[in-house]
A and B are shown apart, each in its own frame.
Chain A
Amino acid sequence: MAIRLERRLERSRQLEYLVPVLSVLLSLVVCAFLLLANGNNPLVAYGAMMKEAFGTSYGFAEVLVKATPLILCGLGVMLAFKMLFWNIGAEGQLHMGAWGATAVVMTGWEGSGWLMIPAMMIAGMACGALWALIPAYLKVKLNCNEIITTLLLNYVAILWVAHFIYGPWKDPVSFGFPMTKLFPEGAQLMRFGDSRVHLGFVFALIIALILYLLQEKSRWGFEVAVTGGNPKAAEYAGMSTGRNILLVMIISGGLAGLAGMVEISGIQLKLLKDISPHAAPYGYTAIIIAWLARRNPWGVLLVSILMGGLYVGGETVQITMKLPVNIVLIIQALILFFVLGGDILARYRVVFSRPREALGGG
């Protein structure tokens, strides 16, 4: 028996939607075995996760808190993926954004009240964008592999932030903890009601809308789609791939930078280690989100909220059931693997057959 794939004439519509749903279920099933091996009851764990994330208003507010940086990073990564530029450096761009925003606070400048936040946003986006421009420029000029450069720059950015919070910016009364002093009130983003949901979530929604319009209604959005689909055709049509890569990466890095800014200005209220959860960093989850969202900004929104739920649920069972929070990462990765495999079902028909003779092919 051999497995053979036959190309379908048309992608199967039903499977297109069925695959992601089945993938989520299957990944939960696989993860259940891991939990059993660890001596936990998976049903109890999943139940507790669901109830915490989507069953209480406090929990759901926290889901939106986690979703905020995920949406911003996810949109940026998605845009780069559309150009077939593998930006897996959102984590570093997020850190540089947080650093840039903090730099504004650290100047000691009080601003004239409302100017502080916009200045931090601009600084954060600029730092994220500049950080993203390095691999983009190297790719355009030297065809330097961007997967490697964007990723290695993550490590450099995290060390860069560490240098400042362990050194020049360290709060002298932090009892040795690596963190800056608390931001003044003018540098804190507005929060809604009693929850920790902050203005950053609104920014994320607005940017999703803008990207949707850019993508669907603008000439430039069309250029990006064509370049990603067929770079050669784009060049023949007079579109500049290089310029578009630089532009896309400015936006992509800028959005990740903004994610870093809103995370420290809306949630942490200071620059510190692990502004992005160590066990499942936002910048890496964003890669999964961008791929699962099928290049659709609204998809990014939806998947980010689901992933936010996974974070909140994961943190809950970590505290109540002493489960390693790493299951968040495992479930994410498994979903993506099942979607990757499942996509094949939408494009090909699987045929089981006896091995054919070598001459029988093609």
Chain B
Amino acid sequence: MEVDLGVLVVAILQAAVRSGTPILFVCIGEIYAERSGVLNVGLEGMMLVGAIAGFTAGFTVGNPVVGVIVAAAAGAAFSLIHAFVTITLRADQIVSGLTLTILGTGISGFFGKAMIGQVGPGFDKFAVPGLAKIPVLGTVFFQQDAMVYLSYVVVPIAWWVMYKTHLGLAIRSVGESPATADSLGVSVTRIRYGCVLFGGAMAGVGGAYLSLAYTTMWIEQMSGGRGWITLALVIFAGWNPARAALGAYLFGGADALQLRIQAVGLDIPTYFLMMLPYVLTITILVLASRASLRRRLGAPAALGIPYAREER
């Protein structure tokens, strides 16, 4: 019995990493966009566009890698709308982001009609030689699919660029004080466009994870609120790419746990279990808000504010 419990816990942790991975990609992208001062609440829409574009490409070509690349391109192209409307035209970032979600939901549903019921190519799990042999951790982290391994590379790079390079410094300064950054010769517009597009590409990849690895099919509105959950995790992570991994796996754990409890058939109504990831996210957000009230740790100072050089 004891052995069984151990196996169960490892299986849940392994599933937690899997469930957390799509959110992790999206979270890294949004951290960059927000660090540069642009809030994009259109994550849900960009994920859906990525999911359908990636699935369609992967299905047509028969290769999931092509799918992921197309998903990144589609996500970036889609986020260009938000970048143009909020950076160049200085419109309200929240309204534009909401509209992006609505548009993405509509467009993905429209083009997805033809793909409903199709089974596409997917990423299979494979063990990383050597590392997979480590007890517990090996199974949890190194018996996964290629996209999970990709996230292990993306997170440290994203952290390193943000904190250890000139580019990262420029991004952070544009988000904190665009006027100062501008006076030092940093192009606010270019940095912000770049970060929003990167955010779109990552949201596209996160969406593609859902349609090419987590499942191998397209389901309308399959992101199921993960874009909004990510927005909460960005706050929880304190806009730090490394802490984003912690938040993503925590959410993934809740998701994996509720699925597992459903499968075991414990006497808890299914629909209450399905609420768990959403309720947990709200709880995390409440805790993060309390902490930031106490420590005055907050968002980038210029987050949400359009930059107009002539009006500073």
| Same assembly | yes
B41 partner, pick from A147, A167, A340, beta carbons under 8 A: A147
Return the chain B residue nearest A3 by Cβ. B88
Instruction: Give the residues in chain A near B228, CB-CB below 8 Å.
Output: 148, 151-152
Instruction: Give the residues in chain A near B224, CB-CB below 8 Å.
Output: 155
Q: With A7-B311, A167-B269, A324-B109 given, is the CB distance from A145 to B289 under 8 Å?
A: yes
Q: With A156-B279, A336-B95, A340-B91 given, is the CB distance from A284 to B289 under 8 Å?
A: no
B285 partner, pick from A145, A155, A288, A334, beta carbons under 8 A: A145
CB distance from B255 to the nearest CB of A (A): 13
Whether B194 is near chain A, meaning CB under 8 Å from some CB there, is: no
Q: Are A143 and B282 interface neighbours, CB within 8 A? A: no
Return the chain B residue nearest A348 by Cβ. B90
B278 partner, pick from A152, A166, A344, beta carbons under 8 A: A152
Whether B103 is near chain A, meaning CB under 8 Å from some CB there, is: yes
Per DSSP, chain B at the interface is helix
Cα A143 to Cα B271 with chains together (Å): 29
Whether B105 is near chain A, meaning CB under 8 Å from some CB there, is: yes
Q: Are B102 and A279 interface neighbours, CB within 8 A? A: no
Q: With A142-B290, A147-B94, A340-B99 given, is the CB distance from A329 to B285 under 8 Å?
A: no
Cα A336 to Cα B96 with chains together (Å): 8
CB distance from B103 to the nearest CB of A (A): 4
Q: Are B98 and A330 interface neighbours, CB within 8 A? A: no
Q: With A142-B290, A145-B232 given, is the CB distance from A330 to B278 under 8 Å?
A: no
Interface residues of B in 270-312 (CB under 8 A from A): 270-272, 274-275, 278-279, 281-282, 285-286, 289-290, 292-293, 308-312
Q: Are A34 and B278 interface neighbours, CB within 8 A? A: no
| Tally of chain B residues near chain A (CB < 8 A) | 53
Whether B156 is near chain A, meaning CB under 8 Å from some CB there, is: no
CB distance from A268 to the nearest CB of B (A): 20
Q: Are B225 and A155 interface neighbours, CB within 8 A? A: yes
Whether A144 is near chain B, meaning CB under 8 Å from some CB there, is: yes
B106 partner, pick from A3, A153, A291, A330, beta carbons under 8 A: A330
Q: Are B106 and A333 interface neighbours, CB within 8 A? A: yes
CB distance from B223 to the nearest CB of A (A): 11
Q: Are B110 and A152 interface neighbours, CB within 8 A? A: no
Q: Which of A48-56, A157-165, A294-302 lies on the face that meets chain B?
A: A157-165
Q: Are A153 and B309 interface neighbours, CB within 8 A? A: no
| Tally of chain A residues near chain B (CB < 8 A) | 52
Q: Are A138 and B286 interface neighbours, CB within 8 A? A: yes
Contact with A along B137-166 (1 / 0, CB 8 A): 000000000000000000000000000000
Whether A361 is near chain B, meaning CB under 8 Å from some CB there, is: yes
Cα A152 to Cα B281 with chains together (Å): 8
Return the chain B residue nearest A163 by Cβ. B271
B309 partner, pick from A138, A142, A330, A362, beta carbons under 8 A: A362
Whether B242 is near chain A, meaning CB under 8 Å from some CB there, is: no
Q: With A5-B90, A152-B229, A160-B271 given, is the CB distance from A337 to B110 under 8 Å?
A: no
Q: Are A337 and B185 interface neighbours, CB within 8 A? A: no
Instruction: Give the residues in chain B near A138, CB-CB below 8 Å.
Output: 286, 289
Interface residues of A in 305-362 (CB under 8 A from B): 324, 326-330, 332-334, 336-337, 340-341, 343-344, 358, 361-362
Whether B231 is near chain A, meaning CB under 8 Å from some CB there, is: yes
Q: With A326-B106, A333-B102 given, is the CB distance from A344 to B282 under 8 Å?
A: no
Whether A86 is near chain B, meaning CB under 8 Å from some CB there, is: yes
B89 partner, pick from A6, A86, A344, beta carbons under 8 A: A344
Whether B171 is near chain A, meaning CB under 8 Å from some CB there, is: no
Return the chain A residue nearest B97 by Cβ. A147
Whether A287 is near chain B, meaning CB under 8 Å from some CB there, is: yes
Return the chain B residue nearest A168 by Cβ. B269
Whether B9 is near chain A, meaning CB under 8 Å from some CB there, is: no
Instruction: Give the residues in chain B near A280, CB-CB below 8 Å.
Output: 106
Whether A88 is near chain B, meaning CB under 8 Å from some CB there, is: yes
Interface residues of A in 264-301 (CB under 8 A from B): 278-280, 284, 287-288, 291
Q: Are B105 and A329 interface neighbours, CB within 8 A? A: yes
Q: Are B275 and A159 interface neighbours, CB within 8 A? A: yes
The 6 closest A-B pairs by CB, nearest first: A329-B106, A333-B103, A163-B271, A326-B109, A330-B106, A144-B289
- 6 other A-B residue contacts (CB within 8 Å) besides A148-B285, A287-B102, A326-B105: A138-B289, A147-B231, A153-B278, A155-B275, A327-B110, A332-B102
**Chain B interface residues (CB < 8 Å from chain A):** 41, 81, 85, 88-92, 94-96, 98-100, 102-103, 105-107, 109-110, 113, 182, 185, 221, 224-225, 228-229, 231-232, 235, 269-272, 274-275, 278-279, 281-282, 285-286, 289-290, 292-293, 308-312
Contact sample, A vs B, 14 pairs, CB 8 Å cutoff: A6-B310, A34-B107, A144-B289, A148-B232, A148-B281, A148-B282, A152-B282, A160-B271, A163-B272, A284-B102, A288-B99, A336-B102, A340-B96, A361-B309
